[in-house]
A and B are shown apart, each in its own frame.
Chain A
Amino acid sequence: MKKHLLTVVSNKEIAHRIFELKLSGPGVKMMVTPGQFLHVKVGEHTSKLLRRPLSICDVNLEKEEVTLLYRAQGEGTIQLSEKQSGEKVDVLGPLGNGFTSETINLGKRALLVGGGIGVPPLYYLGKKMTDKGIKVSFVLGFQSKKDSFYLERFQELGETRVTTIDGSLGINGFVTDAMGPLLEDEPSIYSVGPAVMLKAVEEKAAGLDGYLSLEERMGCGIGACFACVCPTDTRESGYVKICSDGPVFKMGEVVL
């Protein structure tokens, strides 16, 4: 595991408060597994000490470039959004256990379901799956039209249905309101988002195989501080650490 000093290629707002940060450097060649995250330091001289766990949205191995999408909503992420091209960003990673190739190869069809800032890792995952000849479709949930992003890129990979809570784009409602027809050919399920959404997805997709990626406030990001635990009935310890055992878990493995 490693700490890298990556260079900002670009850092721009692509939707309401959603920023696309492209970083480059030799460390990027390690970032081959979707679902892993980088633990990002928002600045050098800042009272915001803790790193921000940001999931990998896309990687261009040839250009050694990684893309992270994040919502600038607190002081720390707002500081990050002010980084200019050419500046350095201190990152640890890639961290965590992502969607490994074993995890990806569950079947011929996959349904990828994401909510809000949980959507980005599904792009890298969808690309990897398409490369392997798996037919992917997406359900992406947002608060409102202004919060939505990357829709055309997802559409290039597969059928993409969008839901918004205020009905300003796509289907009015939650991701589970749009999943129905896409479940008919019994796809494998891959979902990233807040625990309440993951729980609803798990119930909606009952009987199907799949993997969930969890979000939680983290401390160290490497399994030492026990901040981001989640209960489970499937391990003797009774818990998993989201940062180092996850963030990706088999559906049903953790208690949401």
Chain B
Amino acid sequence: MNRLNVNLPGLQMKNPIIPASGCFGFGKEYAKWYDLSVLGGVTIKAATLEGRFGNPTPRVAETESGMLNAIGLQNPGVKKIMEQEIPELEPYHIPILANIAGSTEEEYIEVTKQISSHPLVSAVELNISCPNVKEGGIQFGTDYKSAASLTRKVKAASSKPVYVKLSPNVANIVEMALAVEEAGADGLSMINTLIGMKLDWKTGTPILANKTGGLSGPAIKPVAIRMIYEVSSKVSLPIIGMGGVSCAEDVIEMMSAGASAVAVGTANFVNPYVCPEIIEKLPALLDDIGIDQISELTGRSTVKWKTPLSSR
């Protein structure tokens, strides 16, 4: 029996650990450090229809227990990703979650059609939450009607299950989750980064060339946990949880909040071996808390503690 095994739409995984989009390149960079076949799956960097150079540098700034990034969806375009990047992952036999972004509905639909047709792509992650480009989908991610409309169209264009990656930069995350569920999403990824800013105190000017960036890292984990908890108690879609996860204990916490799988982002930069180290440690933690199968953790907290959060 594989006690770490989890099954989500399109993603049959031997464990719940997936590197998060944008934090793992297209996978090959980390393949120099370890055998990627140990992972539950992999999320590749966002694809847009044409190649994008992204934002000027500096693109990263460190903050307390976190970091700001404003990469700006740099990627070589969907065609090159399909021809040159995805095939490099074939030897590892792990599910591939392809993140897609765009600035118009038409672009999202076209990228989805193309990338979901790739035989190695297991599912699509619809990025409507990148805070770092003017027209990078965030306009779809902050208005629930636009989010639902886009989800419906992308779902129709996709030959693989569609996960919608939600932005935390909204007034009501539950409303957004309900809207995309109603529109036919197969799952949710949450959360993307929180918009933040850092100034150089000597000059009073922003560190990032883009001025603002997306905050990630352990600093945002409590926000992710709260949002996953809230959404999972109202929505029946499986959730890929993410936001500041950096150790096996965090994975258990996030699954208890309601996630069915967990993506690891910024922690890969701190320790390139973090994903295999987490996977290795999980069985001992399950023993500690008397859990046989890791999927039993999902929503453990909502089962135990049915009272809804007072803030909603």
- Listed in ascending order, the chain A residues whose CB lies under 8 Å from chain B are 1, 3, 41, 47-51, 76, 92, 216-231, 237-239, 244
Contacts and interface: CB of A to CB of B under 8 A. Distances in A.
A170 B175 CA distance: 67
Contacts of A228: 57, 59
B59 A217 contact: yes
Given A76-B62, A217-B59, A227-B57, A222 B272 contact: yes
Contacts of B289: none
A226 B74 contact: yes
A128 B145 CA distance: 64
A49 B217 contact: yes
B250 to A, nearest CB: 14
A228 B29 CA distance: 15
23 contacts: A3-B271, A47-B65, A48-B62, A49-B66, A50-B62, A50-B270, A76-B62, A216-B58, A217-B59, A218-B60, A219-B59, A219-B67, A222-B29, A222-B272, A223-B25, A224-B24, A224-B25, A225-B269, A226-B74, A227-B57, A227-B59, A229-B54, A231-B53
Interface string B41-85: 000010000010110011111101111010100101000000000
Interface of B: 22-25, 29-30, 32-33, 45, 51, 53-54, 57-62, 64-67, 69, 71, 74, 76, 217-218, 266, 268-273
A244 B74 CA distance: 16
B59 A220 contact: no
A223 B67 CA distance: 17
Contacts of A223: 25, 29
A61 B251 CA distance: 41
Contacts of A219: 59-60, 67, 69, 269
A220 B268 contact: yes
Nearest to B58: A217
A1 B33 contact: yes
Contacts of B65: 47, 49
A172 to B, nearest CB: 24
A1 B74 CA distance: 25
A227 B69 CA distance: 8
B184 to A, nearest CB: 32
Given A76-B62, A217-B58, A231-B53, 10 more contacts: A216-B57, A219-B69, A222-B33, A224-B269, A225-B71, A226-B25, A226-B59, A229-B57, A237-B51, A238-B51
Contacts of A3: 271-273
Q: Which 6 A-B pairs have the closest CB atoms?
A: A224-B25, A224-B29, A227-B60, A220-B269, A47-B65, A223-B29
B268 to A, nearest CB: 7
B26 to A, nearest CB: 8
Nearest to A52: B62
B64 A47 contact: yes
B96 to A, nearest CB: 16
B136 to A, nearest CB: 14
Nearest to A2: B33
B151 to A, nearest CB: 27
B67 A49 contact: yes
B60 A217 contact: yes
Contacts of B25: 223-226
A86 to B, nearest CB: 23
Nearest to A243: B29
A47 B67 CA distance: 10
Given A3-B272, A224-B30, A225-B23, A50 B67 contact: yes
A229 B33 CA distance: 21
B272 to A, nearest CB: 7
Contacts of A216: 57-58
A228 B271 CA distance: 18
Nearest to A41: B270
B54 to A, nearest CB: 6
Contacts of B74: 226, 229, 239
B53 A238 contact: yes
Contact of B269 (A51, A217, A231, A238): A51
Contacts of A48: 62
A225 B32 contact: no
B209 to A, nearest CB: 10
Nearest to B62: A50
A212 B57 CA distance: 18
Nearest to B22: A225
A226 B71 contact: yes
A151 B61 CA distance: 33
Contacts of B60: 50, 217-219, 225, 227
B35 to A, nearest CB: 14
Contact of B54 (A49, A50, A226): A226
Nearest to A242: B57
Given A219-B67, A227-B69, A1 B270 contact: no
B43 to A, nearest CB: 12
A41 B71 CA distance: 23
B76 A237 contact: yes
